[in-house]
Amino acid sequence: MRSTGYETTRARFDVQMTPMIDVVFQLLIFFVCTVSFQQPERSLPATPRAAKASGAGAAAQPIPRELEDLKQVEVLLRRQAGRTEWVVNQDVCRTVDDLRLRLGNLARIADYKRIVPVVLDAADDVPMGDAIDVYDLCLSLGFEKVQFVAPE
């Protein structure tokens, strides 16, 4: 069989793919081994941006006498019959709307929400998402000091 010039020149330009594929797989393994799949830890904001902007022009209301001796708002989160239940200063809230109403009434007093902290005490069996929802609710209502109780 007669060889043409085309076949001989083509044989010289064949690229060996095996070393290139080996390098790509080694890079892939390197990046898979060095990537971190954990979410980075972030701190919860102490005051929301919206509350700072809206609270500047609000007129201060006097604090009612029955609230003058109150040092903090205590929100206890517990599980009852498979559902989360909230207790705000010994008053039971069975729904989120009831909780929003009670905290909203306290938040309407401009000086009160600026001075008095909200302390969130979540029981061990309460999902963390429920505790974060209450935290977000307090911030959205304008409370500036929202704290979690640390376990003993």
Quick one: pLDDT at residue 40? 65
Examine residue 100 and state whether it is found in any structural domain, yes or no: yes
Whether residues 96 and 144 share a domain: the answer is yes
Q: What is the mean pLDDT of the chain?
A: 76
135 or 71, greater pLDDT: 135
DSSP structure class, residue 81: T
Whether residues 66 and 129 share a domain: the answer is yes
Quick one: pLDDT at residue 27? 95
Number of domains in the chain: 2
Amino acid identity, position 130: D
CA distances from 7 to 15, 85, 143 (A): 15, 81, 81
Quick one: pLDDT at residue 54? 44
Task: Give the structural domain span for 98.
Answer: 50-148
33 or 49, greater pLDDT: 33
Q: Is the pTM of this model over 0.85?
A: no
Calpha distance 131→151 (Å, rounded) = 14
Whether residues 26 and 74 share a domain: the answer is no
Minimal CA–CA distance to 45: which of 140, 149, 126? Answer: 140
DSSP structure class, residue 14: P
Examine residue 40 and state whether it is found in any structural domain, yes or no: no
Examine residue 45 and state whether it is found in any structural domain, yes or no: no
Amino acid identity, position 63: I
- Confidence bin at 21 (pLDDT 50/70/90): very high
Examine residue 89 and state whether it is found in any structural domain, yes or no: yes
CA distances from 148 to 9, 15, 48, 88 (A): 76, 63, 16, 14
Examine residue 119 and state whether it is found in any structural domain, yes or no: yes
Average pLDDT over residues 140-151: 83
**Range with the poorest average pLDDT among 16-25, 107-116, 134-143:** 107-116
Whether residues 70 and 121 share a domain: the answer is yes
Quick one: pLDDT at residue 58? 47
**pLDDT value at 48 more than 50:** no
Nearby residues of 23 by Cβ (< 8 Å), 6 or more positions away: none
Helices 128-141 and 96-107, packing angle to 10 deg? 30
**pLDDT value at 142 more than 80:** yes
How would you list the strands of the sheet with 73-80, edge to edge? Answer: 91-93, 83-88, 73-80, 118-122, 146-148
49 or 142, greater pLDDT: 142
Quick one: pLDDT at residue 55? 46
Find out whether 127 and 84 touch, Cβ atoms under 8 Å: yes
